[in-house]
Amino acid sequence: MKRLLILTTAMSLGGSVAATANEALQKLIDDPSQWAIQTGDYANQRYSELDAINKDNVGGLQVAWTFSTGVLRGHEGSPLVIGDVMYVHTPFPNIVYALDLNNDGKVLWKYEPKQDPNVIPVMCCDTVNRGLAFGEGKIFLHQADTTLVALDAKTGAVAWSVKNGDPAIGETNTATVIPVKDKVIVGISGGEFGVRGHVTAYNMADGSVAWRGYSMGPDSDTLIDPANTTHLGKPVGPDSGTNTWEGDQWKIGGGTTWGWYSYDPELNLVYYGSGNPSTWNPAQRPGDNRWSMTIFARDVDTGVAKWVYQMTPHDEWDFDGINEMILTEQTIGGTERKLLTHFDRNGLGYTLDRVTGELLVAEKFDPAVNWTTGVDMDPASATYGRPAVVAEYSTEQNGEDVNSTGICPAALGSKDQQPAAYSPKTELFYVPTNHVCMDYEPFRVSYTAGQPYVGATLAMFPAPQSHGGMGNFIAWDGKEGKIKWSLPEQFSVWSGALATAGDVVFYGTLEGYLKAVDANTGEELYRFKTPSGIIGNVMTYQHGGKQYVAILSGVGGWAGIGLAAGLTNPNDGLGAVGGYAALSDYTALGGALTVFALPN
């Protein structure tokens, strides 16, 4: 603890300098003509004030121009637009292109890292990457092999690079990074290889480490202050990151951090979620397995956790908690509050007070969810904040080598990492979802560094008693915890959504359609089929006085891993290959950027 307090004091001394280090980026984020950060803004709302394209004219959209990335497999994330330049990334080998918007997307420079292809089989669920970041004149790329590289935004020259992990023990990267103040905050992938998750803040100027906070381990590793870090309003106490683990299992405990990050400048807190505990066989890791499956609120300057909330203690289903945290200011219970809304893989939509971590709402955002009857919302209860597990769908209670059937949702969750959007005009969240269930059979597995550490066999299929499809696109009221409208889709909606001031919401489908719907009613206003299935995130920008909408297409990711990697065994891809076998009837591999605009 003494080490932690010394670190906290030392880091705080630089706070006043850091506070002004990234004002230029904040101005870009605030300018709707740009798309300067993957999440649209620090609040992760994915909302644009642009309204030249609106619900009355969006039906007239046309393709303005296209760009081939030259890479197959899954294209997640979106381009960035900074001034007159668009920055585009690819999945492995993680090529970066700078395109001149004044010259029909002419390539200004190209960066192609030389990575060891042996990293590919260590990546869990396709070779995706969720995009680039910008700050202080640099483009930041976190490569598959965990190399974090800073490129000169004008030339593509490498300013600095640093290794964030070791693929030899299963550490890889699929996520974007978040630049905040004078730091770049970076996560890690590899929970299926027994990696212990962590978040690291690197100094933007030179790549040196500012702090690193682990998901589990001693307080000095997790950067948890036992007396002042709270869980549901109460101090977590000493050794919270080890005392719900058996022996040293926490050292290979998972809790990886490959999702999205948001930031509140007023509170100086960064928010993110940790993933599943390792192994997927719950019998091998008795206890709550803290702090896997947890929402973290950390001080940006020091990394010290202000509060935590564990959503799925002792996860038995691989319900990673890494999905985005969307920050809003709304009136709830008659009081204006700073809120955090999170749509978890476990099928529950949460709303918390992001200042204190108080739990306000926890409701199912897919009616098919059956593994729990709900979360105990009584603060006086001994089980406050915990979901009640239905014994029939408990993979541990049913036992090792027993196939638990009909669990909803499947391991890829009612929503995976594909980010939702929020419109302050409607006060609704627009959520891409998976309407998928599974059979799950855990088995005994031993740990070997760099080898898969899963311990379960899965099969996936559409939820029963439904429209027969595997996805929905929904509008959600985060204050009430209710679905306002729902659009069924044949396959999971694996694209990130975009909401605009024009009362239009955009999303993509696994078959390859870009769709535009009315933000208030869900009425479909436009669709266009792009060259490949869409798992990228829709973005918008303005150039030359004209609004554009852009999307990366290129089928892949967990849902599309069968197509992306040429897999045919139904149980491959951790069960996804069989569930999405019909996808090959509608789309094929391809990496392309498609940019839309209204005709002149």
Q: Which residue has the tokens 């659009």?
A: 487
Alpha-carbon distance 145 to 480, whole Å?
42
Given this model, what pLDDT does residue 569 score? 85
Query: Model confidence at 565, in pLDDT bands (50, 70, 90)?
Result: confident
Span 167-209, pLDDT tens digits: 999 999 999 999 999 999 999 999 999 999 999 999 999 999 9
Which pair of tokens denotes residue 457? Answer: 């066999």
Q: What is the mean pLDDT of residues 517-545?
A: 98
Span 51-92, pLDDT tens digits: 999 999 999 999 999 999 999 999 999 999 999 999 999 999
Which pair of tokens denotes residue 176? Answer: 């974007």
Alpha-carbon distance 504 to 434, whole Å?
22
The total number of structural domains that make up the chain: 1
Note the pTM of the prediction, 2 decimals.
Answer: 0.95
582 or 254: which carries more pLDDT confidence?
Answer: 254
Which pair of tokens denotes residue 593? Answer: 């950027």
Span 412-468, pLDDT tens digits: 999 999 999 999 999 999 999 999 999 999 999 999 999 999 999 999 999 987 677
**Is residue 284 scored above 80 in pLDDT?**
yes
Bridge partners for 160 per DSSP: 150
Count CB neighbours of 117 within 10 A: 11
Query: Model confidence at 560, in pLDDT bands (50, 70, 90)?
Result: confident
| Mean pLDDT for all residues in the chain | 94
578: region left, alpha or beta (phi > 0 left; psi from -120 to 50 alpha): alpha
> Of the residues 225, 318, 344, 366, which is catalytic?
318
Query: Model confidence at 470, in pLDDT bands (50, 70, 90)?
Result: very high
**Is residue 411 scored above 90 in pLDDT?**
yes
Instruction: Assign 3-state DSSP to the chain and report helix, strand, coil percentages, each to 5.
Output: 10, 35, 50
Interstrand relation of 305-310 and 230-231 (parallel, antiparallel or unpaired): parallel
Domain span at 258: 2-597
571 or 293: which carries more pLDDT confidence?
Answer: 293
Query: Model confidence at 277, in pLDDT bands (50, 70, 90)?
Result: very high
What is the CATH number for 24? 2.140.10.10
Given this model, what pLDDT does residue 282 score? 97
Q: What is the mean pLDDT of residues 537-542?
A: 98
Alpha-carbon distance 441 to 400, whole Å?
7
Query: Model confidence at 10, in pLDDT bands (50, 70, 90)?
Result: very low
Interstrand relation of 372-375 and 387-389 (parallel, antiparallel or unpaired): antiparallel
Q: What is the mean pLDDT of residues 372-394?
A: 97
Query: How many percent of the chain have pLDDT more than 70?
Result: 96
Lowest mean pLDDT among 92-96, 167-171, 274-278, 331-335: 331-335
Question: Does the active-site annotation cover 104?
Answer: no
